Chain A
Amino acid sequence: MDLISFRDLDKGTVEKIFGLAEDMDRQLERKKVEKLEGIMATLFFEPSTRTKLSFQSAAERLGLQVVDFLADRSSLKKGESFVDTIRTVDGYCDIIAMRHPAEGAARLAAETAEAPVLNGGDGANQHPTQTLLDLYTIRKLKGKIAGLNVHLVGDLKHARTMHSLVYGLGMFGAKVTMVAPKGLEMEEHIIHEAEKKFNFKMESRDSIDLKDADVLYVCRVQEERFADKYEAAKVKKEFTISSEYIRKGKEDLVIMHPLPKIDEIPPEVDAMPQARYFEQARNGIPVRMACIKMLLEG
């Protein structure tokens, strides 16, 4: 079994991962984790802080050894193909966690390797463990996902995490409200796929209004997406989540962000009780431990 795309998962499998992650949370709290045996290879062909470190930390907490591949110091520099690299690494480990800038790289790796493959991001396509930890965080903090009003704010066109999150929120019956700058709206085919598959409706708004939001999920608006620098500055200001916005929302609002955050959430918000993005990042450990366990134990 591999974990390549959130699209491959049914609700039962996602709930199984949540159950395992809860168990991992309890084991971590007791500081007594049931150990597994084996070696994880981390192959990150592009930069990563949280995903790579949390995969490595999760593996080590489970008692696995970790071998790391550094793309800029590997035989890729000598022209070795991606498939040959995967075939070689497959012989050195029991499970592979990877990220690659090309879309579908994890799928091709999974077809090539005998070891299970965990996708830590493939281009603009999928990042399934991020979606799992996002949904796990919402469920842990709010006790449920169904019926919650989740506001997605920022560049919804290019943010990889948002695409599969919409799919996951649909799967669990949340209500989704989207607010994106003009031209950076989520592509229609992604919305249609989720609507058709899970029979749920999404709403789009022109401006941020958090009165009815249970969860606010923010992602960065990247300046380089705009040809007009004045327009970029205007939009960035408009899409900055100030403490004033948050005070107008519900007291138990949960603010999430896939990180790294730059200036879309000012530092003063970090201290507010609604800000839960660092807790969200920490949830990457039990969720990735759960995924590793599930894949290694078949």
Chain B
Amino acid sequence: MLKVDIIEQGTVVDHVQAGMGKKVLDILGIDEKSGNRVALVMNVPSGKMGKKDIVKVEGILISKEKTDAIALVSPRATVNLIKDGKVVEKKQAELPGELNGIGRCPNPNCISTQEKAPGKFRLEGQKYRCAYCERTFRPGELV
């Protein structure tokens, strides 16, 4: 049994689709230079999901915007904000209606890709339409 320390202040992202934990860290902008204490646990047995990933980040309470961006890679993810070792808020990730500066257009002929402009997308049904090339993509294709 793997044991990971509880955190005093920070965020736990639970019910992350197995294999998507690293993408969650990318969305949160956490890398080796960030300096935060981070735990990424992969392929944890889950009653609901079969297998899941869990991400724990100390020192950061993530915003609603970032929470919803996690839905791009893991629509069932839940975000728990921890203060003084207790869960003070539990949020369900939801696909945002608009994405500004989150995600990149996967179309190599899109000007936002070529000019490295921040991505802009609008949700239409279950897909996102790029504001530039106007093509539609599945949420997972944007990160």
A278 within 8 A of partner (CB): no
Query: Cβ of B115 and Cβ of A81 under 8 Å apart?
Result: yes
Query: Within 8 Å CB of B132, what residues of A?
Result: 103-105, 107-108
A73 within 8 A of partner (CB): no
Kindly supply a per-residue 1/0 record for chain B positions 110-132, scoring 1 wherever the CB is within 8 Å of any chain A CB and 0 otherwise.
11101101000000000000111
Once bound together, how far apart are the Cα atoms of A125 and B132, in whole Å?
9
Considering only residues 128-174 of chain A, those with a C-beta below 8 Å from chain B are none
- Taking the closest CB of chain B, its distance from the CB of A9, in whole angstroms, is 13
A102 within 8 A of partner (CB): yes
Query: Cβ of A104 and Cβ of B134 under 8 Å apart?
Result: yes
Query: Cβ of B135 and Cβ of A107 under 8 Å apart?
Result: no
B107 within 8 A of partner (CB): yes
Once bound together, how far apart are the Cα atoms of A205 and B104, in whole Å?
38
A7 within 8 A of partner (CB): yes
Once bound together, how far apart are the Cα atoms of A107 and B135, in whole Å?
13
Kindly supply a per-residue 1/0 record for chain A positions 5-48, scoring 1 wherever the CB is within 8 Å of any chain B CB and 0 otherwise.
10100000000000000000000000000000000000000000
Query: Within 8 Å CB of B134, what residues of A?
Result: 5, 7, 103-104, 125-126
- Taking the closest CB of chain B, its distance from the CB of A249, in whole angstroms, is 34
Query: Cβ of B133 and Cβ of A108 under 8 Å apart?
Result: no
Q: Given A7-B134, A123-B133, A189-B136: A103 and B110 within 8 A (CB)?
A: yes
Query: Within 8 Å CB of B117, what residues of A?
Result: 83, 108
Q: Given A103-B109, A103-B110: A82 and B115 within 8 A (CB)?
A: yes
A100 within 8 A of partner (CB): yes
Closest Cβ neighbor of B115 among chain A residues? A82
Q: How large is the interface on A (under 10, 10 to 19, 20 to 34, 35 or more residues)?
A: 10 to 19
Q: How large is the interface on B (under 10, 10 to 19, 20 to 34, 35 or more residues)?
A: 10 to 19
Once bound together, how far apart are the Cα atoms of A140 and B31, in whole Å?
61
Query: Within 8 Å CB of A235, what residues of B?
Result: none
Query: Within 8 Å CB of A107, what residues of B?
Result: 111, 131-132
Query: Within 8 Å CB of B130, what residues of A?
Result: 104
- Taking the closest CB of chain B, its distance from the CB of A23, in whole angstroms, is 31
A66 within 8 A of partner (CB): no
Query: Within 8 Å CB of A232, what residues of B?
Result: none
Once bound together, how far apart are the Cα atoms of A122 and B114, in whole Å?
13
A124 within 8 A of partner (CB): yes
Query: Within 8 Å CB of A105, what residues of B?
Result: 111, 132
- Taking the closest CB of chain A, its distance from the CB of B104, in whole angstroms, is 13
- Taking the closest CB of chain A, its distance from the CB of B128, in whole angstroms, is 13
CB within 8 A of A102: which of B109, B131, B135, B136?
Answer: B109
Query: Within 8 Å CB of A126, what residues of B?
Result: 134
Once bound together, how far apart are the Cα atoms of A82 and B112, in whole Å?
11
Question: Assuming A5-B134, A103-B110, A122-B111, what are 17 further A-B pairs, CB within 8 angstroms?
Answer: A82-B114, A100-B111, A102-B109, A103-B111, A103-B132, A103-B133, A103-B134, A104-B133, A105-B111, A105-B132, A108-B112, A108-B115, A108-B117, A123-B133, A124-B109, A125-B133, A125-B134
- Chain A residues at the B interface, C-beta cutoff of 8 Å: 5, 7, 81-83, 100-105, 107-108, 122-126, 189
Closest 10 CB pairs of A and B: A104-B132, A103-B133, A102-B111, A104-B111, A105-B111, A104-B133, A108-B111, A107-B132, A103-B110, A104-B110
